Chains A and B, each alone.
Chain A
Amino acid sequence: MRLSADKFAQYTFLGIACSAIASLMLIAVFSLKEGLPFILWYGPVEFLTSTNWNPQENQFGVGAMIVASLWVTAGAMLIGAPLGVAVAVFLSEFVPRPVMRVIKPAIELLAGIPSVVYGFIGMMVLAPLIRRHLGGPGLCILSAAIVLGIMVLPTVISISVDAIGAVPNSFREGALALGATRWQAVRMVVLKAARSGIVASIILGMGRAVGETMAVIMVAGNTPRLPHGLLEPVRTLTANIAIEMSAAIGRHREALFATGVVLFVVIMGLNSLAMAVMRRKGAR
């Protein structure tokens, strides 16, 4: 009886695990089927490098939007990753347990706030501030990067705190027993031991930043032109799909699927880049 229950559970979970992979495969296959013929028809080089997006005149270059997505993501991670890891270190190493038990769920709650709310606050508070003090239209790369930087914090903090918490206490004790200060123990031992988890948190945060759509539409300005500075409005790959899909037919619709393919590849690329960085650091 128990054996068969075990088997049942085993196959159930196997099925669930496979369905997750199957979903991923289906999304990939569907996007490729819809988008790839268009890319081949339009010319891959032209599609990826042209910065001219003008569907009315059958001009579909996503170069400017690739650049915009990379800029916004990089900006968001420059803000979110150091801040998130620093908060995680502070929470797990320097704050008494009971306090942390209150603060960590509060931070995780941030992940539950709908992205439209982040976008709204960015639009009403952040963009006017930037317009007033730094110039430009306010809706720009910088606004999007700041809003996304804050949005990735719960992901980065929560996973980093877990990673740091999983570091055996014997490492801390060993370091302190050799005369290290608490900060030295954290910096030289604990962070090294938690490195893979921290990198994973940053990769997941980055995935969230690349894929975020609503908040970006609201604060980035949405102009499909190549940006020349942080204060210029941009349109990211995700925003392009979301803004135009409802009205798109024919080639235009296919071009948006092709944009999705590019987005898919960009996310894969960023992930494997992060993995490669992690592996090289691990070997050293």
Chain B
Amino acid sequence: MSNHATQIPAAAAAATGPKMRVERLDLYYGAFQALRDVSMPFARNHITALIGPSGCGKSTLLRVLNRMNDLIPGVLVQGLVELDGCDIYAPDTDVCELRTRVGMVFQRPNPFPLSVRDNILFGLRVAGVRNRGRLDETLERSLRSAWLWENLKDRLNDPAIDLPLDQQQRLCIARLLAVSPEVILMDEPCSALDPIATAKIEELMIGLKRDYTIVIVTHNMQQAARISDFTGYMLLGDMVEFGPTTKVFTDPGDVRTQDYISGRYG
């Protein structure tokens, strides 16, 4: 499919279809197949949660969506992965640009060994923005969106590593918001945080879904139930069940989903 041909359906999909979509996705790490025939949509301005036991492929699936898996040698991806109707694995995809549109927050907060300001402005500087006014405006806007401005407005030059963990994680979210992504991928963003900090991040995520499409991988099923609109349950590389979160949690269609959910609750 040529790039030209994808333009028109893209415009149509942008208005109505899901923000992202994977279709018949297979992924291999060398000889090991980590994802098997996975198909699912990621609804615009909603939170989609991926749950399942360790090693089920949920983080792998997340990393397919911004092509972070490209960094691992020997990865083979087959199938369709679309953003606004465009195949992001097409040969002419600009991966750097893709990653600014589909941003990622990691399991452990990973602020760079730079000041708060330089962390937030990293994405813009990488993109070549030099305009001081725009940088300052983005700095404040991003920190405000992650509810950090009041805490940090007088500490913009402090090393980000010195912040408490939950502020570090919100800084990583603010750093991502600074590049104005369309999709935010979160890989167990609260697993390093205590319950109060977790609650803050969850509240933040619910606030963010008005402007962003969010995909979260989580071990914590209460978390998935609390904040997500759609849930996918994965097991050994298969998408066992996908549907609205209330349906998956209260009336699962697959006995394996039921076992997993009730096992954790029991």
Residues of A within 8 A of B (CB): 96, 168, 170-171, 173-181, 184, 188-189, 192-193
Given contacts A96-B73, A184-B126, 18 further A-B contacts (CB under 8 A): A168-B110, A170-B106, A170-B110, A173-B71, A173-B106, A173-B110, A174-B172, A176-B68, A176-B99, A177-B103, A178-B99, A178-B123, A178-B176, A179-B123, A179-B127, A181-B96, A188-B122, A189-B114
Evaluate contact between A178 and B126: CB separation under 8 angstroms: yes
Q: Contacts A176-B68, A177-B68 given; indicate if A171 touches B110 (C-beta within 8 A).
A: yes
Residues of B within 8 A of A (CB): 66, 68, 71, 73, 96-97, 99-100, 103-104, 106, 108, 110, 112-114, 122-123, 125-127, 172, 175-176, 179
Evaluate contact between A175 and B122: CB separation under 8 angstroms: yes
Query: In the complex, what's the smallest C-beta–C-beta distance from A241 to chain B, in angstroms?
Result: 42
Query: In the complex, what's the smallest C-beta–C-beta distance from A190 to chain B, in angstroms?
Result: 10
Rounded to whole angstroms, the CA-CA distance of A150 and B193 in the bound complex is 49
Shortest Cβ distance from A97 into B: residue: B73
- For B126, give its contact among A168, A170, A171, A188 (CB under 8 Å): A188
Query: In the complex, what's the smallest C-beta–C-beta distance from A176 to chain B, in angstroms?
Result: 7
Residue in B108, B112, B127 whose Cβ sees the most chain A Cβ within 10 Å: B112
Rounded to whole angstroms, the CA-CA distance of A174 and B185 in the bound complex is 12
Query: In the complex, what's the smallest C-beta–C-beta distance from B93 to chain A, in angstroms?
Result: 13
Query: In the complex, what's the smallest C-beta–C-beta distance from B61 to chain A, in angstroms?
Result: 16
Evaluate contact between B125 and A179: CB separation under 8 angstroms: no
Shortest Cβ distance from A179 into B: residue: B100
A and B contact pairs by CB, cutoff 8 A, 18 listed: A96-B73, A168-B110, A171-B112, A173-B71, A173-B104, A174-B106, A175-B126, A177-B66, A177-B104, A178-B123, A178-B179, A179-B99, A180-B96, A180-B123, A184-B126, A189-B113, A189-B114, A192-B113
Rounded to whole angstroms, the CA-CA distance of A177 and B102 in the bound complex is 8
Chain A residues within 8 Å of B110, by CB: 168, 170-171, 173-174
Shortest Cβ distance from B112 into A: residue: A189
Query: In the complex, what's the smallest C-beta–C-beta distance from B162 to chain A, in angstroms?
Result: 13
Q: Contacts A176-B99, A179-B179, A188-B122 given; indicate if A193 touches B68 (C-beta within 8 A).
A: no
Chain B residues within 8 Å of A179, by CB: 96-97, 99-100, 123, 126-127, 179
Shortest Cβ distance from A174 into B: residue: B110
Evaluate contact between A192 and B112: CB separation under 8 angstroms: yes
Evaluate contact between A176 and B97: CB separation under 8 angstroms: no
- For B112, give its contact among A96, A176, A193 (CB under 8 Å): A193
- For A170, give its contact among B71, B108, B114, B176 (CB under 8 Å): B108
Shortest Cβ distance from A177 into B: residue: B104
Chain B residues within 8 Å of A176, by CB: 68, 71, 99
Rounded to whole angstroms, the CA-CA distance of A235 and B66 in the bound complex is 60
Chain A residues within 8 Å of B104, by CB: 173, 177
Rounded to whole angstroms, the CA-CA distance of A174 and B111 in the bound complex is 8
Shortest Cβ distance from B123 into A: residue: A178
Evaluate contact between A175 and B100: CB separation under 8 angstroms: no
Shortest Cβ distance from B175 into A: residue: A178
Shortest Cβ distance from B97 into A: residue: A179
Residue in B68, B71, B126 whose Cβ sees the most chain A Cβ within 10 Å: B126
Rounded to whole angstroms, the CA-CA distance of A46 and B20 in the bound complex is 79
The 4 closest A-B pairs by CB, nearest first: A179-B100, A170-B110, A178-B123, A177-B104
Query: In the complex, what's the smallest C-beta–C-beta distance from B252 to chain A, in angstroms?
Result: 33
- For A178, give its contact among B71, B113, B114, B122 (CB under 8 Å): B122
